[in-house]
């Protein structure tokens, strides 16, 4: 499965705290994350090789011999490499390699922990704004959504819903006509140039409506970003990254990475604006049937759906099978 070779976000870095194993689910499989004494994160299948107990219910131990994750049932201890180091019922026994758990690769980027299930020549999706020190970075979420990751990405790329789902916020029922936009394909996906929307309140600080231009970019099968292009007066160039974890084919965890020019507002205010917008999307997303994104017909399109059509074609070409039908 091609999805196994991709990096997926599974948790906020700050949610994986020292000494507390964290259960996560990705591509319908369960994993236990934990940090060793140096703070490096590790991922094991969330299943003890002895009797199948969830390792995420266990404890993290540190001593002179190193850091280990201890199973909650019989106390077997596994080191960062997955090797079983100690079986308390047989203290003088040296566990063989067959008693090990397998380990998975992790990375931490954009405030998130990324997991890859199968080695490959891939990197987590880019988010260039992360490196821009003029921008303030903030993670919003996770939002637990009863829908497929591709439905969520497609919704993010969709401008035509603003006047309805986000009426009075990101759009206006009386300004719903969309200008034509241009799509350029990239190695990671595509860029949609010249997307404009009439916005009554394009960000938390704006007080009057304006025509806002966006650049949308698909940065991977389950990730995207939008850049608000500078406006004459405000000079805003905020970037919002969307990172979706495909938990199950019809269940996802969503984060937004904000890189914004607003250094004045409290974090809670910025989060609350993003929460409000996404809570407007969520019931619509969860109502869509089928929950998996149809790649082989069954839905009709109009010219305003060029981004969606390009996204569906991209998933098809990449051989994506998780969350589509």
Residues that bind ligand FES (CB under 6 A): 48, 50-51, 53, 71, 73-74, 76
Nearest distance from C-beta of residue 76 to ligand FES, angstroms: 4
Q: Is the peptide bond before 100 cis (omega within 30 degrees of 0)?
A: no
CB under 8 Å to 190, separation ≥6 — which residues?
183, 184, 217, 218, 307, 310, 311, 314
Q: Would you tell me the crossing angle of helices 267-287 and 149-157 to the nearest 10 degrees? A: 110
Are the C-beta atoms of 271 and 140 separated by less than 8 Å?
yes
Task: HSE, CB side, 13 Å, CA atoms: give it for residue 249.
Answer: 11
Q: Does 154 bind Fe ion (CB under 5 A)?
A: no
Task: Report the nearest approach of ligand FES to the CB of residue 263 (Å).
Answer: 48
Taking the least distance from each CB to Fe ion, the nearer of 20 and 279 is: 279
Q: Which is nearer to ligand FES, 90 or 268 (CB)?
A: 90
The phi, psi pair for 278, rounded to 5°, reads -70, -30
Task: Name the residue nearer to ligand FES (CB basis): 47 or 116.
Answer: 47
Least Å distance, CB 69 to ligand FES, is: 10
263-282 footprint of Fe ion as x/- string (CB under 5 A): ------------------x-
Q: Which is nearer to ligand FES, 85 or 116 (CB)?
A: 85
Say how far apart CA 258 and CA 290 lie, in whole Å: 30
Task: Say if CB 197 and CB 164 are below 8 A apart.
Answer: no
Q: Which does 76 bind (CB under 5 to 8 A by kind): Fe ion, ligand FES, none?
A: ligand FES
73 touches which of Fe ion, ligand FES, none (CB within 5 to 8 A by kind)? Answer: ligand FES
Going from the C-alpha of 232 to that of each of 11, 52, 199, 211, 212, the distances in angstroms are 38, 60, 15, 11, 10
Contact 36, 66 (CB under 8 A): yes
Which C-beta is closer to Fe ion: that of 132 or that of 144?
144
* Phi, psi dihedrals of residue 62, rounded to the nearest 5°: -130, 135
Q: Which of ligand FES, Fe ion, none lies near 74, with the C-beta cut-off 5 to 8 A by kind?
A: ligand FES
For residues 72 and 64, give the distance between their C-alpha atoms in angstroms, rounded to a whole number.
21
- Binding of residue 46 to Fe ion (CB under 5 A): no
Minimum CB distance to ligand FES, residue 102 (Å) = 15
Identify residues 279-298 at the interface with Fe ion (CB under 5 A): 281
70 versus 281: smaller Cβ distance to Fe ion: 281
Residues forming contacts to Fe ion in the complex (CB under 5 A) are: 281
């Amino acid at each position: 499965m091609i999805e196994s070779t991709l990096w997926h976000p599974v948790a906020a870095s700050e949610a994986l705290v020292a000494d507390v194993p964290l259960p996560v689910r990705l591509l319908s499989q369960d994993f236990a994350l934990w940090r060793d004494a140096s703070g490096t994160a590790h991922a094991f299948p969330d299943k003890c090789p002895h009797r199948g107990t969830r390792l995420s219910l266990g404890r993290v131990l540190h001593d002179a011999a190193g850091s280990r994750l201890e199973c909650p049932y019989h106390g077997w201890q596994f080191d960062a490499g997955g090797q079983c180091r100690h079986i308390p019922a047989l203290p003088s026994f040296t566990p063989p390699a067959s008693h090990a758990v397998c380990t998975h690769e992790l990375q931490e980027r954009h405030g998130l922990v990324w997991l890859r299930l199968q080695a490959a020549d891939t990197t987590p999706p880019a988010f260039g704004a992360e490196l821009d020190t003029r921008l303030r970075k903030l993670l919003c979420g996770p939002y637990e959504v009863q829908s497929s990751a591709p439905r969520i990405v497609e919704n993010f790329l969709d401008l035509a819903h603003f006047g309805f789902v986000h009426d009075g916020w990101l759009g206006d029922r009386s300004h719903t006509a969309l200008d034509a936009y241009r799509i350029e394909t990239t190695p990671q996906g595509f860029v949609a140039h010249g997307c404009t929307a009439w916005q009554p309140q394009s960000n938390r600080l704006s007080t009057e409506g304006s025509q806002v231009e966006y650049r949308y970019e698909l940065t991977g099968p389950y990730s995207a970003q939008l850049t608000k292009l500078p406006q004459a007066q405000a000079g805003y160039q905020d970037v919002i990254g969307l990172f979706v974890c495909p938990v199950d084919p019809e269940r996802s965890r969503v984060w937004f990475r904000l890189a914004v020019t607003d250094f004045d507002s409290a974090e809670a205010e910025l989060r609350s604006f993003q929460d409000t917008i996404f809570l407007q999307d969520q019931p619509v997303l969860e109502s869509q049937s089928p929950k998996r994104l149809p790649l082989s017909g069954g839905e009709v399109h109009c010219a305003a759906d060029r981004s969606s059509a390009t996204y569906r074609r991209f998933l098809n070409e990449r051989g994506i099978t998780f969350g589509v039908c």
